[in-house]
Amino acid sequence: MKLPALTLNQKLACLALALGVLALFSVPHRGPVVTLDTRELALIVEKEVDHVTPSELAGWIVQGRSDYRLVDLRAESDYAAYHIPTAENVTVAALPEFPFLRTEKIVLYSDGGIHAAQAWMLMQAQGYRAVYTVLGGLEGWKDEVLYPALPAQAPAADRARFERAAALSRFFGGEPRAEGGAVAAAPMALPKLAAPAPSGAASAVAPRKKKKEGC
């Protein structure tokens, strides 16, 4: 049986309809289900390239760098009470849907570091590559930046380093502890949120693009 010859337009129409029918089953949007490359992630974790120390972070903030986004993963009330300057509040639940740019550096922190580590895993699974956690979280920030301690019998090199840390600490509204004895057993209170925003650091949370992206 001979099939009738189809014109070009008719062939195109058939192709379109076939593709359209197949498209009925399509699911083009990424859902919440992701795939993990366990080997790659295990290597990253082991190499510890995904950490930022609180002192490093403090340095970035003072320099006014705006090439990263600092994310506070705690609840809103905790964030309002105190947060590291220039941090934005995104809870872990809101994290997967949050519209981060794929090309920006994201630094996560939570109280101790467990939530930050878990959130780090979530973001890596979604394909974000430039994700970091603050080593020690907010507790680490308190110990290293806000209330750096110097033991009584410290060598000269340590003293020099302590002076620098002390300056940083005062900048953020903290209190350096020079006497070894004052290693407090009671938790140190966090400074009020009047910590000065260094010039330029505010732009870290400023609008990304000033010009329109539309047509």
Smallest gap from residue 26 Cβ to another protein (A): 4
Token code pair at residue 121: 């895993």
CB of 10 to another protein, least distance (A): 10
192 or 211: CB nearest another protein: 211
Calpha distance 128→120 (Å, rounded): 9
Q: How far is the CB of 20 from another protein (least distance, A)?
A: 3
Q: Which helix (H) or strand (E) holds 137?
A: helix 137-141
Size of the chain in residues? 215
For residue 16, the minimal CB distance to another protein (Å) is 6
CB of 107 to another protein, least distance (A): 17
Residue in this structure with the two tokens 């195109």, named with its chain if needed: 12
For 91, half-sphere exposure in the C-beta direction (CA atoms, 13 angstrom radius) is: 8
Binding stretches for another protein (CB under 8 A): 8-9, 12-13, 16-17, 19-21, 23-30, 101-103, 127, 210-215
Closest to another protein by CB, 145 or 201:
201
Q: Is 34 helix (H, G, I), strand (E, B) or coil?
A: coil
Amino acid at 152: A
Kindly state the tokens that stand for 38.
């366990």
The CA distance from 86 to 83, in Å, is 8
Q: Which residue number, 80 or 101, has a Cβ lying nearer to another protein?
A: 101
For another protein, give the closer residue by CB, 3 or 8. Answer: 8
- Dihedral sign for Cα atoms in the order 191, 194, 198, 204: positive
Q: Please, which residue, 83 or 105, has the CB nearer to another protein? A: 105
